[in-house]
Amino acid sequence: MIRPRSIAARSVAARVVALAALAAIAFPAARADDLLIRNATVHTGAAGAAPQAGTDILVKDGKIAAIGKGLAAPAGARVVDAAGRPVTPGVFGGLTRIGLEEIGLDSANGDYAQRLGQMRPEFDVTQAWNPDAPSLVVHRNDGITFTVLTPGTAQGGSIVAGQGGPASLAGREALAPRAMFIDLGGDANDLSGGSRAAQFMLLRQALVEARAPNLVMVHDDRLLSPSGRQVLLEFLKGGGVFVFDVDRAVDIRRTIEFVQAEKLRAVIRGGAEAWRVAPELAAARIPVFLDPLDNLPGSFDTVGATMYNAARLNAAGVTVGVAMRSPNIDDAGKMRQAAGNAVAHGLPWAAAFAAITRIPAEIFGVGDRFGTLAPGRVADLVLWSGDPLEVSTVAELVVADGQLQSGVSRHRLLRDRYLERVRRGEAR
C-alpha cells in the first residue's frame, strides 16, 4: 500500500517533470552545442553528389563546420556514432497548413483562407503562422524541418488564393520570398462564375489592372483593390513564383500557354495528368509538385492519375517535387512514404529524395538554408535509423535551424505517461 505522503511526493515530482517537458516544447531550443556525428553515410543533397560512406559531420555554434573523414571532436562536444546510418538534409513538409490550422472542425483555428468574396492577392497567409503550434514539434521529430505555408480557396473566396511562403519549423518567422497561389480547373468553377473558361479571363484582367493601375474601366469594374494592384505589380516585377493548382492535361496546357504569354515564373501543383503533357512542361521548364500516392480518379480532372506520374515526368526532363494532395497538417508526415512510393514506381532514389529536400528549397527561394549540407551553412540535418524513404525508418537525431531538437512533444509525453501506468499494472 502506498502512503499518502509518497503519493503527494510522486505527484509533485511528476508535475515538475511535465512542466519542464512542456517548457521545452513551448520555447525555442538553444543553439546546438558542438556536435560530431561520426561514421555516417552522408547524403549532402547536392545535385549529382553520391552518398559518402564513413564520413563525419561537425556542427559548431549551430553551423556545419566540416564534412569529412576522421574529424577531431572539439573539447566538450557531443559525439554520436552513426554506425553507417544515413545523415541527410531535413525533409520538406510540403505545401501545407502547418501552423495555420489546429483543428479542422474549429473555424477559429483555421487561418489559411479568406472569405471576402473577391480577388485579394495581397492576402498573405504567413501573417497568421503560429511558430508555437504543437504540430510543428511533432513534424520536427519526424525529420521535417521546413515547409511552404499555403493559402487555400474557400467558398466565397477567389481563384487567387493569395500569398504563402517558406518557413523553418524551428524558426520564429516565415521566410522570404513569397509565392502566389492560384486554383484552376473544375474544382474552382464556383469561384469563377461557374466555368473554367472564365478563369484565365479573370487572371488576365487582374494582370492588366496591376500593370496599368490608372487604366479607366467601364463602370470601374475592377477585380483588385488599390493595395491588391500594388502588391501584384511588385510581385510581377520581382519575378515571384506563381503556383497553379491544376490537374487536367488540357488545363495544364492552357496554363503553359498563359504563363509563356504573360512571362511568369510558374509551378504546377497537383498535376495528376501532367505526364500527358510532359514534353511541353519540360520545354517550358515548369516544375511539377505532385502526390505520388495519387492513383485513382477523384474527379473528371484526374481521370489519368497514375503512380507512374513522377517517373514519366522525370524521364521527360521535368523537375519533380513532392507535395501531398491534401494540405492538412497530418499529411506532411506522409512525404517520405510518398517519395518512396515514387521510387517503387520507377523514379530514381536520388530524384525522389531531391523532390523532398533540395528541389523545393531551390524553387521557393531558400536553397541557401535547406535541402543540402555544406560547410558554413546553418545546420539542418537528420540522422536516420535506416533508408529515409522506408516507412519503418525513424529520425534518431534532428538539428533544425542550428538547434538540436529534444524530441519532446505532447504526444510523446502522453504516450510515456500511460505506458508507465501499463507497466505498473495500473491501467484499466
pLDDT digit string (tens) for 337-378? Answer: 999 999 999 999 999 999 999 999 999 999 999 999 999 999
Q: What is the dihedral of CA 64, 68, 70, 75, to 10 degrees?
A: -10
DSSP letters spanning 20-46: HHHHHHHSPPPBPPPEEEEEEEE----
Task: State pLDDT tens for residues 50-93.
Answer: 999 999 999 999 999 999 999 999 999 999 999 999 999 999 99
User: What is the arithmetic mean of pLDDT over 147-162?
Assistant: 87
Q: Is residue 11 scored above 70 in pLDDT?
A: no
Q: Is residue 389 scored above 60 in pLDDT?
A: yes
pLDDT at 219: 58
Q: Is residue 29 scored above 80 in pLDDT?
A: no
What is the grid cell recorded at 277?
Answer: 503533357
So what's the architecture of 91-370 in CATH?
A: Alpha-Beta Barrel (3.20)
pLDDT at 8: 41
Q: Is residue 26 scored above 60 in pLDDT?
A: no
What is the grid cell recorded at 362?
Answer: 531551390
Closest CA to 144 of 390, 332, 337: 332
Q: Where in the chain are the domains?
A: 4-29+408-423, 91-370
